[in-house]
A = this chain, B = another copy of it.
């Protein structure tokens, strides 16, 4: 048994291993890598400047598709007031009242390749107050409009849970107030954050970024290892300044912690951001704002499994149940830096650090291969095919097998040097 263990150890033992050294020796001086990154950044900002982001109007889709926009509080207020005035006129004219509500069902969703995101088609339904089947929903819609109007007057932010508790007897169940809140967004044509209803925060950011959070200036190079919690309300975030060359989007907090402790952003000027798993709305809005205002390339470090790619897709193309808000929530053109399925062999990740994919994993992988956002990127298709074929996955942490700091000292610098992103 001791013998077997010895052989096992010889293959995995870490810091003195020859394989990782082989890769370390390939590293050029940082100045060369920095030049690569400067080129990447200037390409990103040139393309951002040259190509005005396409809108539905540019594509002649504005009459058949709809999207919501970030509206200032005053517009939200006046839009609600005009709407309610119209309802009052209708009631006074003896016609009762009714809402026209855009459908958010899957049948009314459309992936637009030119925009690289999902939008809503133009189907709407009528929600009359004077009909047994819709009186409840019409009532809840009116009440939510009233509450949201209050929020805009007071200029405070609340969560969906808070909203629910303001009238439990009417709403009965939070799924009901949540769903109608989304309806109200679509009716008013504005984002949920414009309504001052926010999601709980869970993301953190650290690195070469200065921004204001509710009037306080935050310097993210001076946030220690913990970093700055990403604020739940993006409308209070502003004045972004940065000398970073790229944004490093990280799936997991363990990798984030390694990068923050090693102050990776001082060696390669960057902004490091993570939502600690499944992306929340606040982190998605924050990432998009960084990309848009700072015109920085975004490189993603995720696990090599279908779930990692799925997370990437939520950042890039949005989630299906918020497709009406895809323009404001999505960050275009994120590069898949790693860990990619081809990295497993390339970086000689030992077999015992790879995990077998479950049936569900493989199914998710195959489903992803059918998604438009994957199909349009041949490199991604190739990687995903390799993953599904090899039936192996690996976490970012698997790199620790070559030493705790292999990620920051060898893997990432080499990836950047070789422009090894897709």
Chain B residues with Cβ under 8 A from A132's Cβ?
1
Chain B residues with Cβ under 8 A from A150's Cβ?
15, 404
**A108 contacts partner chain B, Cβ-Cβ < 8 Å:** no
Q: How far is the CA of A224 from the CA of B218 in the complex (A)?
A: 8
**Stretch binding the partner chain, chosen from A254-262, A323-331, A385-393:** A254-262
**Is the CB–CB distance between B224 and A231 below 8 Å?**
yes
Among the listed B136, B204, B224, B254, which residue makes an inter-chain contact with A159, where contact means beta carbons less than 8 Å apart? B254
**Is the CB–CB distance between B222 and A232 below 8 Å?**
no
Q: How far is the CA of A158 from the CA of B258 in the complex (A)?
A: 7
Interface SS of A by simple majority: mixed
**Is the CB–CB distance between B218 and A214 below 8 Å?**
no
**Is the CB–CB distance between A212 and B231 below 8 Å?**
no
Q: How far is the CA of A162 from the CA of B400 in the complex (A)?
A: 6
Among the listed B168, B253, B405, which residue makes an inter-chain contact with A352, where contact means beta carbons less than 8 Å apart? B168
Chain B residues with Cβ under 8 A from A2's Cβ?
135
Chain B residues with Cβ under 8 A from A158's Cβ?
258, 400, 404
**A223 contacts partner chain B, Cβ-Cβ < 8 Å:** yes
**Is the CB–CB distance between A9 and B135 below 8 Å?**
no
**Stretch binding the partner chain, chosen from A85-93, A195-203, A412-420:** A195-203
**A229 contacts partner chain B, Cβ-Cβ < 8 Å:** yes
**Is the CB–CB distance between A352 and B169 below 8 Å?**
yes
**Is the CB–CB distance between A200 and B257 below 8 Å?**
yes
* Known contacts A12-B167, A161-B254, A261-B157, A213 near B233 by CB under 8 Å: no
> Considering residues A11, A218, A223, A226, which has the most beta carbons from chain B within 10 angstroms of its beta carbon?
A226
**A227 contacts partner chain B, Cβ-Cβ < 8 Å:** yes
**A79 contacts partner chain B, Cβ-Cβ < 8 Å:** no
**Is the CB–CB distance between A161 and B397 below 8 Å?**
yes
**A401 contacts partner chain B, Cβ-Cβ < 8 Å:** yes
**A166 contacts partner chain B, Cβ-Cβ < 8 Å:** yes
Min CB gap A296→B, angstroms: 20
Q: How far is the CA of A397 from the CA of B232 in the complex (A)?
A: 17
Q: How far is the CA of A397 from the CA of B161 in the complex (A)?
A: 7
**A353 contacts partner chain B, Cβ-Cβ < 8 Å:** yes
* Known contacts A135-B2, A217-B222, A223-B216, A12 near B258 by CB under 8 Å: no
**A267 contacts partner chain B, Cβ-Cβ < 8 Å:** no
Min CB gap A227→B, angstroms: 5
Chain B residues with Cβ under 8 A from A165's Cβ?
353, 395, 397-401
Chain B residues with Cβ under 8 A from A94's Cβ?
none
Chain B residues with Cβ under 8 A from A258's Cβ?
158, 162
**Is the CB–CB distance between B232 and A229 below 8 Å?**
no
Min CB gap A236→B, angstroms: 6
**A225 contacts partner chain B, Cβ-Cβ < 8 Å:** yes
Give A80-104 interface residues, CB cut-off 8 Å to B.
Answer: none
Q: How far is the CA of A261 from the CA of B14 in the complex (A)?
A: 48
**Is the CB–CB distance between B223 and A213 below 8 Å?**
yes
Could you list 5 examples of A-B contacts with CB < 8 Å? Answer: A1-B135, A1-B136, A12-B169, A200-B257, A204-B229
